[in-house]
Amino acid sequence: MVKKKDDTTEEKILNAAKKIFIKNGMAGARMQDIADEAGINKALLHYYFKNKELLFENIFIKLSTDFWPRLNFIFESDMPLFEKIPTFCNLYMEKLIENPYIPLFVLYEMNRRPAQFFKKMFAGNAPQPLKLMNQIEAEAKAGKIRPIHPSQLVINMISMCIFPFIGKPMIMAVMNMNEDQFRVLIEQRKKDVPIFIIESIKK
In the shown chain, the binding pattern of residues 5 to 24 toward DNA, with x for contact by CB under 7 A and - for none, equals: ----x---------------
Which residue stretch of 45-53, 136-144, 145-153, 166-174 sits at the interface with DNA (rule: CB under 7 A)? 45-53
69 binds a second copy (CB under 8 A): no
Rounded Cα distance, 193 and 149, in Å: 19
Using CB under 8 A, count the residues that bind a second copy: 55
| Helix or strand (DSSP H, E) at 89 | helix 81-98
28 binds a second copy (CB under 8 A): yes
Which of 101, 131, 144, 190 contacts a second copy by CB under 8 A? 101
Tell me whether residue 27 or residue 142 sits nearer to DNA (CB atom): 27
Q: How far is the CB of 7 from a second copy (least distance, A)?
A: 30
Which of 15, 36, 46, 61 contacts DNA by CB under 7 A? 46
157 in helix, strand or coil? helix
Q: Nearest CA to 200 among 162, 145, 155?
A: 145
- DSSP-assigned letters across all residues of 55-68: HHHHHHHHHHHHHS
Which of 24, 58, 65, 77 contacts a second copy by CB under 8 A? 24
Please check whether residue 185 is in contact with residue 165, taking contact to mean a CB–CB distance below 8 angstroms.
Answer: no
Distances (CA, A) of 35 to 8, 20, 32, 91, 197: 14, 10, 5, 34, 46
Which residue stretch of 36-44, 52-60, 83-91, 156-164 sits at the interface with a second copy (rule: CB under 8 A)? 156-164
Please check whether residue 90 is in contact with residue 194, taking contact to mean a CB–CB distance below 8 angstroms.
Answer: yes
Tell me whether residue 37 or residue 137 sits nearer to DNA (CB atom): 37
Distances (CA, A) of 6 to 12, 13, 14, 67: 6, 9, 9, 21
Q: For the beta carbon of residue 157, count every other beta carbon within 10 angstroms.
A: 20
71 binds a second copy (CB under 8 A): no
Interface residue list for a second copy (CB under 8 A): 23-28, 101, 104, 106-108, 110-112, 115, 118-119, 122, 126-127, 129, 146, 148-149, 151-153, 155-156, 158-160, 162-164, 166-175, 185, 188-189, 192-193, 196-197, 199-201
Interface residue list for DNA (CB under 7 A): 9, 29-32, 40-44, 46-48, 50-53
